[in-house]
């Protein structure tokens, strides 16, 4: 992956890179396994740039972890360009390997997709979903793009089905921390990190509600913990009080994301299907 710049003011190359959001880690990687060219000639970060110079930055070639075992299985691709890949994940699949599920993860599936196309790309997970949550997951095609995406604001929206009749709309503002009795579970804790979840009820049945939810912060298990906290656990979520005889995973799906693209600076809005959740709601 490379970037090309036309210099409009004199300054040191290192300063230019820093101004353009190249982290110290990225600059170091370029020096060891990449290239910096000014007017077609290799230079170092100490090069003094002048007006009308043409700078080409070749990012370092990344090598995926040996712990990842790529596999080929069709991906549900929602968006792809030179820098990002956005896919829809089904329930019962990890975004990345874990102690209990070492392989078969989405990142390994994406790596298999790139390998099959002959692309030497190492995917980086930008947005993660719990194993049993479905919907949109964003990958960067280089660590530098991952870093740039960490500097931007992501708006994320979900559909969920919860028990009981919730308010028409509300914001749940309750800090979340680890549950000391579990290595996995979280809970509302006054000593935890700030967490805010906005929701709007779309439909109600006597025992269930269908909601559209926006994450205003990004804590682990946030929606699941917050809905349990207000007395309306997600249907199928046996970790947070929502066990169901038929549905064995939480009925929660990421259906929309929007962000400013870190390279093109255009607003990108991506939608995933939510009719599956609506169909379940109408049958539940």
The CA-CA-CA angle for residues 164, 177, 97, to 5°, reads: 90
3-state secondary structure of 20: coil
Q: Which residues pair with 259 in a beta bridge?
A: 268
Sign of the alpha-carbon dihedral angle for 209, 213, 219, 220: positive
Task: Compute CA distances 142 → 125, 148, 245, whole Å.
Answer: 10, 10, 43
- Taken as a whole, the chain contains a residue count of 284
CA distance linking residue 230 with residue 209, whole number of Å: 13
User: Which is catalytic among the residues 52, 53, 130, 179?
Assistant: 130
Known active-site residue 238: no
CB 36 within 8 A of CB 13: yes
Catalytic residues, by residue number, are 130
């Amino acid at each position: 992956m490379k970037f090309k710049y036309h210099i409009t003011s004199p300054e040191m190359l290192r300063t230019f890179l820093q101004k353009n959001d190249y982290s110290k880690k990225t600059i170091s990687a370029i020096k060891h396994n990449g290239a910096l060219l000014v007017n077609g000639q290799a230079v170092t970060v100490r090069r003094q740039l002048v007006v009308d110079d043409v700078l080409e930055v070749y990012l370092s070639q990344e090598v995926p972890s040996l712990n990842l075992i790529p596999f080929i299985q069709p991906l549900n691709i929602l968006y792809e360009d030179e820098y990002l890949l956005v896919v829809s994940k089904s329930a019962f699949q990890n975004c990345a390997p874990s102690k209990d599920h070492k392989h078969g993860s989405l990142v390994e599936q994406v790596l298999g997709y790139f390998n099959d196309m002959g692309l030497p790309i190492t995917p980086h997970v930008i947005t993660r979903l719990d194993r049993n949550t479905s919907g949109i997951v964003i990958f960067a095609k280089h660590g530098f793009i991952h870093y740039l995406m960490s500097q931007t604001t992501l708006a994320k929206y979900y559909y969920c089905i919860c028990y009981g009749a919730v308010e028409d709309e509300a914001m749940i503002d309750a800090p979340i921390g680890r549950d000391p009795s579990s290595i996995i579970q979280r809970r509302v804790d006054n000593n935890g990190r700030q967490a805010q979840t906005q929701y709007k009820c779309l439909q109600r049945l006597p025992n269930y509600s269908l909601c559209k939810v926006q994450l205003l912060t990004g804590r682990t298990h946030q929606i699941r913990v917050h809905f349990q906290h207000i007395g309306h656990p997600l249907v199928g979520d046996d970790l947070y009080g929502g066990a169901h005889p038929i549905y064995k995973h939480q009925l929660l799906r990421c259906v929309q994301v929007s962000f400013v693209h870190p390279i093109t600076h255009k607003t990108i809005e991506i939608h995933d299907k939510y009719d599956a959740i609506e169909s379940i709601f109408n049958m539940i």
